[in-house]
Amino acid sequence: MIKVIERDGQPSEEGLKLMRKIIEARMDVSQLFSSPELLHTMIRYSGGVLRDLFLMIQEAADNALDFGRAAIEEAPTGRPHLTASSATTTAT
């Protein structure tokens, strides 16, 4: 686990940068995400758990392909598009 939030609730810039660097080493972020801020949002949602982040990205990418989108986009709720099952559990 990588610290992405400090004890005082502020973001850990070092942890956020490290997680972004790990993702960028494994995939083309500019092609995968419709906006650079979207990866930052997903990193924060992961809580610093790399496995969870990779699973979120995989689910969002699969969902984008299922709906004919070229990249992962932000949902109107302000969250990345995930799977249909997660969309039904989240109020929109």
| Per-residue model confidence (pLDDT) at position 80 | 60
Third-level CATH fold of 13-89: Helicase, Ruva Protein; domain 3 (1.10.8)
Token digits of residue 78: 């302000």
Domain borders along the chain are: 13-89
Residue-by-residue DSSP string for 2-28: ---B-TTS-B-HHHHHHHHHHHHHHS-
| Per-residue model confidence (pLDDT) at position 73 | 87
| Per-residue model confidence (pLDDT) at position 78 | 58
Average pLDDT for consecutive 10-residue bins of the chain (92 residues)?
Answer: 92 94 94 90 93 94 89 74 44 42
Amino acid at 64: A
Which residue from 57, 5, 6 is spatially nearest to 29, judged by alpha carbons? 57
